[in-house]
A and B are shown apart, each in its own frame.
Chain A
Amino acid sequence: MIKVRIKKALVAGHGPISLEADFQIADGEFATLYGPSGAGKTTILRMIAGLSDPEEGFIQVDDEVWFDSERGINLPTQSRRISFVFQDYNLFPNMTVRENLKYALQDKKDEGQIDELLALARLTELRNRKPATLSGGQKQRVALIRALLRKPKIFLLDEPLSSLDQALRLELQDEIYELCARFNLPTIFVTHDLSEVFKLSSQVFVLDNGKIVKSGKPGAIFNDHNLSGKFKFVGTIVELLKEDFLCIVTIQIGQNLTKVVATEEEASGMRIGDKVTVAAKAFNPIILKP
């Protein structure tokens, strides 16, 4: 269980903002901090970790007070039992995969755990490699299990998947979810990816301009306006094929290609590379220029 109530003045891209957060997360709860970049998500995580100091407030994990501005308590990072997973992995380049994990061990007697976790993350074969020779997904797996070897009281993940490609993201999302469930800790996951919020979290805090503007279950927060009943996507025209009086328009939406039929008249204003909205009204998808 973690209780957080913190305040700090920040300088964001568009000027000074006041970061204020007040929330608590129970054991086994997976919470996401969601919001645009510069909203203060990472700073909240860093303050919980003790890597950055709030101006005032209170942070308590279980029955340990980590920060209390009134009583002048501010535990150093080393004394806070956290697992911190960074966006850019932060593996130590001078150590092999196994040495990185061994360095994280709190008690040398637990060395057996390393091999167990290596096997779990399918990294056994790579244990003697240096981080520089690993792929992004492999690096983040090492970082994840390294963080877990700390025997944490709370799990903090700062956009751990944002530099990976889509397929790997999905795979690692599942792994993160399983690992977190296994350890039954409060987890805070920072992201600006809506699909991650839905897939992983039991609780979401939407952060904007330093303030938590909404919080609750992801379904309840986003379903009302962001996902309406009819579907509607923005895509790019990649091909226009004229056939008699019709035109077949190929549109790329994310990583998918879709073909939509347009009349000659509709297609006359379209060029390859145009951004268009694809929406389904009743049964027929129609294409609209924005």
Chain B
Amino acid sequence: MSFDLYPLILTFKLALVTTLILVAIGVPLAYWLAFTSRKWKCLVEPLISMPLVLPPTVLGFYLLLLFSPGAFLGGFLETFLHIRIVFTFSGLVIGSVLFSLPFMVNPIKAGLQSFPGALIEASYALGKSRTETLLKVVLPNIRPALLTGIVMAFAHTVGEFGVVLMIGGNIPNETRVASIAIFNEVEAMNYANANLYSAILFLTSFVILFLLNAFNKRAFKGIV
């Protein structure tokens, strides 16, 4: 049986889109969690971290229920906006974003919490707004945490299985990502192909994490 590259391409496309969306929502969310004193923060924090402990199939199962055309939300999207979430790329993205959220938010939140408040005050005293302070003072100084969040979210999305299988299914050239393709090949006794997918994922993940470590050591030196 010939080796199909599409699952790998789909995997990296999914990881890229997911990571971009996570940067956009993860940074403001982490900022809010790090600095708010609102009580319901204690409800939001565990919710964000749920994917760390929950079997991915549980999240996938609820998403499937929520977005299936027979359900309220899925039906609404299908009837009025003609959008289908389940068994499509959008479904994969929604599942991945939720599932990788803690990997993006938690390191950034930790970075923000350990950032010296006095520097933030110094920026305010120079007349700078919260947004300008965040973009020009805070984020550049917590670059290692930011990069850790980005890389972990990307790498974790590459490695997903349960959530994407539940909400995306296993449709060739549509929602079959690399991790599912491996499972498929093993079931079909195509060990050579399974091996190739696995080796590629193994190596890519190793290289990503290796580069992250190397960069963070250097970045740390530059700041301290």
Is the A/B pair a real complex? yes
Question: Does B55 reach chain A (CB closer than 8 Å)?
Answer: no
Known contacts A51-B121, A86-B122; A94 and B127 CB within 8 A of each other: no
Complex interface residues of chain A between 212 and 253 (CB less than 8 A to chain B): none
Does A12 sit within 8 A of B, measured CB to CB?
no
Contact A92 B118, CB 8 Å, known A78-B129, A103-B136: no
Nearest CB to that of A149 among chain B residues?
A: B126
Partner of B127, one of A51, A93, A106: A106
Given A103-B136, A132-B223, A132-B224: A90 and B119 within 8 A (CB)?
Answer: yes
Q: Which residues of B contact A68 (CB under 8 A)?
A: none
* Chain B min CB distance to A171 (Å): 23
Q: Does A81 contact B (CB under 8 A)?
A: yes
Interfacial chain B residues near A79, Cβ < 8 Å: 127
Determine if A82 is an interface residue (Cβ-Cβ < 8 Å): yes
Q: Using a Cβ–Cβ cut-off of 8 Å, how many residues does chain B contribute to the interface with A?
A: 19
**Measured CA separation A146–B140 after assembly (Å):** 20
Pairwise interchain contact A51-B136, C-beta atoms closer than 8 A: no
Would A104 and B223 be within 8 Å (CB), given that A51-B121, A92-B141, A94-B137 are in contact? no
Specify which chain B residues have a CB less than 8 angstroms from the CB of A83 in the assembled complex: 125
A150 engages B126 (CB within 8 Å): yes
A154 to B136, CA, bound (A): 25
Q: Does B184 contact A (CB under 8 A)?
A: no
- Among residues of A, the one whose C-beta sits closest to the C-beta of B125 is A84
A53 interface residue, CB < 8 Å from B?
no
**A86/B118 in contact, CB under 8 A:** yes
B109-130: contact bitstring with A at CB < 8 Å (1 yes, 0 no)? 0000000101101111111110
Q: Which of A77, A92, A106 contacts B121 (CB 8 A)?
A: A77
Interface residues of B (CB under 8 A from A): 116, 118-119, 121-129, 136-137, 140-141, 222-224
8 contacts between A and B (CB under 8 A): A77-B125, A78-B128, A90-B118, A92-B123, A93-B223, A94-B140, A103-B123, A132-B224
